[in-house]
Amino acid sequence: MYHHTNDKAKRLAERSIKSLNDFELPIAPLYFSLFYAYYSGEHPDVSKAIDAYLEAGRPITEERCKNIYNKILEQTSATSTIVDASDQLSDITNNLLDFVNEASEGNQNFTSHLDDFAKKLDTDNSQEDMATMVQTMMEQSRETMVRQWDLEKQLATASEQITTLKTELEDVNADARTDPLTQLANRRAFNEFIQTASEEASKNDTSMTLVIGDVDNFKAFNDKWGHSFGDQVLKLVAHSITEHTPTDCLASRYGGEEFAIVLPGHDLATAREIADKAREFISSKVIRRKDSSKNVGQITISFGVAIYEAGECIPHFIERADMALYSAKEQGRDRVVCAPIGKNIITAVA
């Protein structure tokens, strides 16, 4: 959340829009937010990432902007939402506790009045005294009932508020683990899933395989047809990979045009078959532009596959799948290559 004066906000907005024009980026909320954060100086990680591209003379593309936004600003937004929800939950809890304490104190007073009433019943009382005592107890009973009703209302309201917050936090948690373009799991979700899956595989002595895929010649495709059309192609590839991923496994967007599938309980042959079916499905698609129906050619993808060795460190496991992918590219692309088994395995340090 920014706390800028109108003049400062205007200056930052003007600089942001100028940069979007200079870099030929769309005037869209994501890109505007990124450069506003850059010029505000309040997000050092954003400044560092953009400056790195500028200093290296590398172009600021839509894809690079999306990567910076997703890795930095999106996480900041999620954290802010969680903090806000935590504060709201604290307020709800404190208010509820105050009301419960007040109701508890009222109930204690009522109990005390009941004791007094019972004691007075054991003594001789005039009709007038009895009438007064009964009237007092009726008033106390009504007050207690009102407090009870109010407490029930407060509990119902608090329950609704907590349910709403729980839903919001679940949505934030899902968003923080989802790639906004393809709706696949993102790198964060991939890291968490593969870590847990590897631990289970080692513990239970079961298979786990990893498939890493990369769209062939995607940079050239983007340069020729534009990043917006390239994004649509990535969505198509993501959908195709999802369609061929078993329900107990995880398909994720690993990087720009890279995708990964973690397959717990599946051996190398099965993983290769899954990758090959996805590859064939993608290459069979005819890619056309919606605005002109022009056939823009075929999209292909290469895959590398590796099977997890018990105790192997995750970075090395990923590297082996990545090296297999590299081999698939070297052999001509549009193919699946499996990493060798049992060679130069680096185990995790306890």
Nearest to 287 by CA among 302, 277, 300: 300
Q: What was the pLDDT predicted at 211?
A: 98
Quick check: 278 pLDDT over 80? yes
Arithmetic mean of pLDDT over the chain: 81
Percent over 90 (pLDDT), the chain: 33
Q: Give yes or no for a contact between 182 and 234, defined as CB atoms under 8 angstroms apart.
A: yes
Quick check: 346 pLDDT over 50? no
Q: Give yes or no for a contact between 299 and 225, defined as CB atoms under 8 angstroms apart.
A: no
Q: Give yes or no for a contact between 37 and 73, defined as CB atoms under 8 angstroms apart.
A: yes
Q: What was the pLDDT predicted at 217?
A: 93
pLDDT per residue over 96-117, tens digit each? 666 666 666 655 665 666 666 5
Q: Give yes or no for a contact between 213 and 322, defined as CB atoms under 8 angstroms apart.
A: no
For residue 277, what pLDDT band results from cuts at 50, 70 and 90?
A: very high
Q: What was the pLDDT predicted at 350?
A: 34
One-letter amino acid identity for 334?
D
Distance CA 348, CA 350 (A): 6
pLDDT per residue over 175-216, tens digit each? 678 888 899 998 888 998 999 999 999 999 999 999 999 999
Q: Give yes or no for a contact between 347 and 247, defined as CB atoms under 8 angstroms apart.
A: no
Q: What was the pLDDT predicted at 235?
A: 93
Q: What was the pLDDT predicted at 348?
A: 42
pLDDT mean over 26-37: 84
| Both tokens assigned to 130 | 């009895």
Residue with the bigger pLDDT between 323 and 150: it is 323
Quick check: 14 pLDDT over 70? yes
Instruction: Among 78-82, 140-144, 151-155, 182-186, name the one with the lowest average pLDDT.
Output: 78-82
State the residue for tokens 């009726």: 138
pLDDT per residue over 312-326, tens digit each? 889 899 999 999 999
- For the whole model, what pTM was predicted? 0.59
Distance CA 14, CA 30 (A): 16
Q: Give yes or no for a contact between 280 and 272, defined as CB atoms under 8 angstroms apart.
A: no
CATH of domain 187-338: 3.30.70.270
Q: What was the pLDDT predicted at 204?
A: 92
Quick check: 221 pLDDT over 50? yes
Q: What was the pLDDT predicted at 120?
A: 61
What does the H/E/C string look like for the chain? Answer: CCCCCHHHHHHHHHHHHHHHHHCCCCCCHHHHHHHHHHHHCCCHHHHHHHHHHHHCCCCCCHHHHHHHHHHHHHHHHHHHHHHHHHHHHHHHHHHHHHHHHHHHHHHHHHHHHHHHHHHHHCCCCCHHHHHHHHHHHHHHHHHHHHHHHHHHHHHHHHHHHHHHHHHHHHHHHHHCCECCCCCCECHHHHHHHHHHHHHHHHHHCCCEEEEEEEECCHHHHHHHHCHHHHHHHHHHHHHHHHHCCCCCCEEEECCCCEEEEEEECCCHHHHHHHHHHHHHHHHCCCEECCCCCCEEECCCEEEEEEECCCCECHHHHHHHHHHHHHHHHHCCCCCEEECCCCCCCCECCC
Instruction: Among 44-48, 140-144, 255-259, 271-275, name the one with the lowest average pLDDT.
Output: 140-144
Residue with the bigger pLDDT between 188 and 173: it is 188
Distance CA 144, CA 149 (A): 9
Distance CA 127, CA 195 (A): 80
Quick check: 343 pLDDT over 70? no
Quick check: 297 pLDDT over 90? no
Which range in 158-172, 267-281, 302-316 is most confidently predicted, on average pLDDT?
Answer: 267-281
301-307 and 336-338 beta bridge pairing: parallel
